[in-house]
Chain A
Amino acid sequence: MPTQIDYEYDHSLYGVEHQSGPFEVTNDIISVYARSVGEDNPIFVDRDAALAAGYADQVAPPTLCALFERGELPDIKLQFGRRQFHGGQRVTPRATIVAGDILTASSHLKDVYTKTGRSGTMAHVVWETTFRNQHGTIVADVQRSQVVRE
């Protein structure tokens, strides 16, 4: 149930699943991502190490899903604020993601609420996304909170 707030936005987005993808998880994407965030666990950076550890291929750090979640969500047309930033993130891995997987994302608007603190009012826009692989297995549940400021 969405929170009641004083600002207009597109309520018709509730209850609608927004599909995006397919996103191909390549060895390159995993390597570049792992290097950029400083993940040096061998299963993330070395395919042979991942195979030796019993995985089907190079393993993706669970937060890699966030790469595909960003920029794929509809505009909620919130009549408030100008600037957005990333306010919070939840990542719940459900199954291992390895190179060669093809992911699809299903997102829905969970809630929009406001909070007023010392620096003024902020609106929080919360999206929930479920990622599945090519076998239909859920690999991760991701929740993203985007903050909009006055």
Chain B
Amino acid sequence: MTAASQTTVNRPLTVGDALPSVRRVITRESINAYRAASGDNNPIHYDDAFAATTRFGGVIAHGMLTLALVSEMMTQAYGADWPVAGSLRVRFRGAAYPGDTLESTGMVAKSNADDSVGVVTCNVEVRNAETGERIITGTATLPTRPASGEVSQG
């Protein structure tokens, strides 16, 4: 298979470079769409009466749905390299509710882009844009040069 190379101008490769932030409103519709796609039928994601009895107090979004903001930010910053070779490591720290506006931000924390290693590590987070509460924190890593040959480890 040919690895696609989609060139992105001004990829953030230097320590301190900011990633383009992404904002999105969480809606009942997006939660339901993810529920349908994933088959994740935990009532905390749709049953108001049940959700009210939990410590969350109401219906919340799936963690993976909030994580999509990080993935989208990384795609905007690094183009097609991200979905193909990037890796993510995150913690879900807070819950997101329907109507919440979330914002993902990130910054290059470590860069070996210029030497033979060719790897960039970014600190990433998703916050509630209104309250500032942290929803996700973690790191995203990706190689900055195309892999030579098949990547296979086992």
Contact = CB atoms under 8 A, between A and B. Distances in A.
B19 to A, nearest CB: 16
A67 B37 CA distance: 8
A62 B64 contact: no
Given A37-B71, A94-B151, A95-B151, A71 B39 contact: yes
B88 A89 contact: yes
Interface stretch (A5-13, A14-22, A28-36): A28-36
Nearest to B85: A93
B91 A96 contact: no
Contacts of B98: none
B5 to A, nearest CB: 8
B103 to A, nearest CB: 13
Interface residues of A, number: 42
A89 B152 contact: no
A89 B139 CA distance: 11
A92 interface: yes
Contacts of A40: 72
B9 interface: no
Chain A interface helix/strand/loop/mixed: mixed
A63 B37 CA distance: 13
Contact of B37 (A32, A90, A130, A149): A32
Contacts of B6: 53
Contact of B87 (A35, A67, A91, A96): A91
Contacts of B24: 38
Contacts of B68: 37-39, 63
Nearest to B62: A86
Contacts of A35: 33, 37
Interface string A34-71: 01111111011000000001111001011100110011
Given A32-B36, A93-B86, A138-B152, A88 B4 contact: no
A62 B83 contact: yes
B150 interface: yes
B33 A36 contact: yes
A145 B154 CA distance: 21
B91 A63 contact: no
Interface string B72-111: 1001000010011111111110000000000000000000
B134 to A, nearest CB: 14
B36 to A, nearest CB: 7
B102 to A, nearest CB: 11
The 7 tightest CB contacts between A and B, nearest first, are A37-B68, A54-B2, A53-B4, A36-B33, A92-B87, A86-B63, A36-B34
Given A41-B83, A90-B87, 12 more contacts: A33-B38, A36-B34, A36-B36, A44-B83, A53-B6, A59-B84, A62-B83, A63-B68, A70-B40, A85-B92, A89-B90, A93-B83
